[in-house]
């Protein structure tokens, strides 16, 4: 049985004040859903320490990082390693987000190296994959997702997917207000699970597949109702406590 997982990706948003206010409100509003849904927030990494101190050891809300370097240590100015994230109570690490692929030229091969680093540090990768609008129009959605998954398989093998999280985030749905329909998302999620099942049915059955892209309090329930959607990766709607709480609530009711 795959337990639901909702992650709020704050992207390049936040301040000390927002971290304190948002986490304070979420800690209050999410209490009823504790043990029913895994919840994580991904603030900019500079705020992870503050967030970890606020969240304490209660385990109500886990921490996710938005990125990690593909090296363990060394002369890589400006970077942050997986073992550093681990020191700050981080559980999940988002890698391969389309904004990093687009604005930081991250390739499938680089993301595969990051995936391996995250696993080595004992953290859980949240691998983002998905197609552009043009690729969807060309009918290339499956080919794009396959290439993005294959890079990980080649680097780390199928066993690396054990316990990991994959987020399907079609680029045309991110920040556009135009979410994939539940049926569109389900079709790709089913394809992803079946692709993994071809190599290992047990891992395919256990891997959690999140949908991301214009998730709101209005569409979360219908998306989560799909059999292969195990949770949601939320962007803009994660910045408001009541909206994010409402999204979490919809994965447990
Ligand atoms: P939005 O929910 O703002 O569309 O962002 C989705 C996303 O990119 C989450 O990682």
Q: What is the pLDDT of residues 63-91, one digit of tens each?
A: 999 999 999 999 999 999 999 999 999 99
Domain holding 239, by residue range, is: 5-250
Q: For residue 237, what are its two tokens?
A: 């709607």
Residue labelled with tokens 């337990």: 3
How much distance in Å is there from the Cα of 206 to the middle of ligand 1?
24
Distance of CA 140 to the CA centre of its chain: 22
Q: For residue 93, what are its two tokens?
A: 């690490």
Closest listed residue to residue 185, CA positions, set 218, 136, 240, 138: 136
How much distance in Å is there from the Cα of 75 to the middle of ligand 1?
32
How much distance in Å is there from the Cα of 2 to the middle of ligand 1?
22
How much distance in Å is there from the Cα of 212 to the middle of ligand 1?
6
Mean pLDDT for all residues in the chain: 97
Closest listed residue to residue 51, CA positions, set 60, 126, 30: 60
By the 10 Å C-beta count (0-12 exposed, 13-18 middle, 19+ buried), 242 is classed as exposed
- In total, the chain counts a number of residues equal to 253
Per-residue pLDDT tens over the stretch 121-168: 999 999 999 999 999 999 999 999 999 999 999 999 999 999 999 999
Residue 190: the pLDDT is 98
Torsional class of 36: left (φ above 0), alpha (ψ -120 to 50), beta (otherwise): alpha
Residue 121: the pLDDT is 97
Whole-number Å distance between alpha carbons of 37 and 41:
13
Q: Into how many domains does the chain fold? A: 1
Give the least confident one: 2-11, 50-59, 162-171, 218-227: 50-59
* Range 87-98 average pLDDT: 97
* Range 46-57 average pLDDT: 95
Does residue 253 surpass a pLDDT of 80? no
* Range 29-48 average pLDDT: 94
Residue 91: the pLDDT is 97
Note if 79 is an active site residue.
Answer: no
> Which residues, in sequence order, are CB contacts of 220 under 8 Å at separation 6+?
232, 246, 247, 250, 251
Asked whether 213 lines ligand 1 (CB < 6 A), one says yes
CB atoms near residue 75 (< 10 Å):
6
Q: Sign of dihedral through CA atoms 112, 138, 194, 2?
A: positive
Asked whether 7 lines ligand 1 (CB < 6 A), one says no
Q: For residue 75, what are its two tokens?
A: 């002369």
Q: Which of 97, 99, 131, 189 is catalytic?
A: 97
How much distance in Å is there from the Cα of 227 to the middle of ligand 1?
21
In the chain, pLDDT over 70 holds for what percent of residues?
Answer: 100
Whole-number Å distance between alpha carbons of 166 and 94:
9
Residue labelled with tokens 């959690």: 208
* Range 106-128 average pLDDT: 98
Asked whether 236 lines ligand 1 (CB < 6 A), one says yes
Note if 97 is an active site residue.
Answer: yes
At 60, which CATH number? 3.20.20.70
Whole-number Å distance between alpha carbons of 240 and 217:
11
Residue of minimum CA distance from atom 7 in ligand 1: 235
Please report which helix (H) or strand (E) contains residue 231, including its range: strand 231-234
Q: Report the nearest atom of ligand 1 relative to the CA of 214.
A: 4
Does residue 252 surpass a pLDDT of 90? no
Whole-number Å distance between alpha carbons of 62 and 23:
11
Q: For residue 17, what are its two tokens?
A: 């004040």
Q: Which of 99, 106, 131, 169 is catalytic?
A: 169
To test the pocket of ligand 1, the residue of 66, 96, 235 to mutate (highest count of ligand atoms within 8 Å of its CB) is 235
Q: How confident is the model at residue 35 (pLDDT cuts 50, 70, 90)?
A: confident
């Amino acid at each position: 049985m795959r337990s639901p997982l909702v992650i709020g990706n704050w992207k390049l948003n936040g301040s000390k004040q927002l971290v304190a206010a948002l986490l304070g409100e979420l800690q209050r509003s999410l209490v009823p859903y504790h043990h029913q849904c895994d919840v994580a927030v991904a603030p900019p990494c500079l705020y992870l320490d503050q967030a970890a101190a606020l969240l304490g050891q209660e385990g109500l809300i886990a921490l996710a990082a938005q990125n990690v370097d593909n090296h363990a240590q060394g002369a890589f100015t400006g970077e942050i390693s997986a073992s550093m994230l681990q020191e700050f109570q981080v559980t999940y690490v988002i890698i391969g987000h389309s904004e990093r692929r687009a604005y930081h030229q991250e390739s499938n091969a680089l993301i595969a190296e990051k995936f391996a680093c995250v696993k080595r540090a004992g953290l859980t990768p949240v691998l983002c994959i998905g197609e552009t609008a043009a690729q969807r129009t060309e009918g290339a959605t499956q080919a794009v997702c396959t290439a993005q998954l294959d890079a990980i398989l080649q680097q780390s093998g199928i066993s690396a997917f054990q316990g990991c999280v994959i987020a399907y985030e079609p680029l045309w749905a991110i920040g556009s207000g135009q979410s994939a329909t539940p049926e569109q998302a389900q079709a790709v999620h089913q394809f992803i699970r079946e692709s993994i099942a071809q190599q290992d049915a047990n891992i395919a059955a256990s891997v959690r597949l999140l949908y991301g892209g214009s998730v709101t309090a209005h569409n979360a329930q219908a998306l989560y109702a799909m059999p292969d959607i195990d949770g949601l990766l939320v962007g803009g709607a994660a910045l408001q406590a009541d909206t994010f709480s409402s999204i979490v609530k919809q994965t447990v009711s």
